[in-house]
């Protein structure tokens, strides 16, 4: 697997795959996503980001509809609501847990797991383990092991 990311010449975003389908739009200011939300919503996101950074570098992409987290590929995304932070992680397997509000299997090794956080206290051992596993998916480690 090549280490170099492909950079879109139009929007300058980096991707693991050359000519990856995407929407070329400028990124927003991260703080815009939290305008009008309760402080606990931003604190929850900051706790998520601190946890992810324990595993290595991450690119934060404040897009128009979500905040994506990317290493080689996007592995998590979050939407700030007034009272909660809606998020999902992409895992290379289906995981059942009562906190998941939705699980969508796009392929056997590309499974979206959606959940909600009300504040930083919700970034507990379960969420930390999902973020760690998703970070490895973002690094595409799951493609080098079978």
Rounded to whole angstroms, the maximal C-alpha distance in the chain is 45
CATH, domain 28-143, list 3.30.1460, 1.10.10, 3.30.110, 3.90.1010: 3.30.1460
What stretches of 1-146 show up as alpha helix (H) in DSSP? 39-53, 125-138
- Quick one: pLDDT at residue 1? 43
As to burial, measured by CB atoms within 10 angstroms (0-12 exposed, 13-18 middle, 19+ buried), residue 37 is middle
What digits encode the pLDDT tens for the residues 2-47? 467 777 666 666 666 665 665 667 778 999 999 999 999 999 999 9
What digits encode the pLDDT tens for the residues 55-111? 999 999 999 999 999 998 899 999 999 999 999 999 999 999 999 999 999 988 899
Every domain of the chain and the residues it spans: 28-143
Separation between Cα atoms, residue 93 and residue 97, nearest integer Å = 13
Separation between Cα atoms, residue 85 and residue 65, nearest integer Å = 13
- Which residues, at least 6 apart from 57, have a Cβ–Cβ distance to it below 8 Å? 71
Q: Is the pLDDT of residue 136 over 80?
A: yes
Tell me the C-alpha to C-alpha distance, in Å, between residue 32 and each of 36, 64, 69, 74, 77: 9, 10, 16, 20, 16
pLDDT band with cut points at 50, 70 and 90 for residue 142: confident
Separation between Cα atoms, residue 103 and residue 4, nearest integer Å = 31
The model's pTM is: 0.84
Residue 118: helix, strand or coil by DSSP? Answer: coil
- Quick one: pLDDT at residue 99? 98
What digits encode the pLDDT tens for the residues 108-124? 889 999 999 999 999 99
Q: Quick one: residue 76, left, alpha or beta (phi over 0 = left, psi -120 to 50 = alpha)? A: beta
């Amino acid at each position: 697997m090549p280490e170099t990311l492909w950079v879109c010449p139009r929007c300058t975003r980096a991707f693991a795959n050359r000519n990856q389908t995407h929407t070329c739009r400028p990124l927003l200011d991260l703080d815009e996503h939290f305008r009008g939300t309760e402080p606990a919503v931003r604190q929850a996101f900051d706790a998520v980001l601190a946890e992810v950074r324990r595993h290595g570098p991450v690119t934060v992409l404040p897009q128009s509809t979500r905040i994506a987290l990317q290493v080689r590929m996007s592995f998590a995304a979050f939407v700030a609501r007034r009272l909660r932070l809606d998020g999902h992680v992409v895992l290379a397997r289906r995981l059942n847990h009562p906190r998941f509000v939705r699980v969508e299997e796009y392929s056997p090794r590309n499974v979206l797991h959606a959940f909600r956080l009300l504040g930083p206290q919700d970034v507990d051992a379960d969420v930390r383990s999902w973020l760690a596993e998703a970070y490895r998916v973002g690094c595409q480690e799951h493609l080098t092991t079978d």
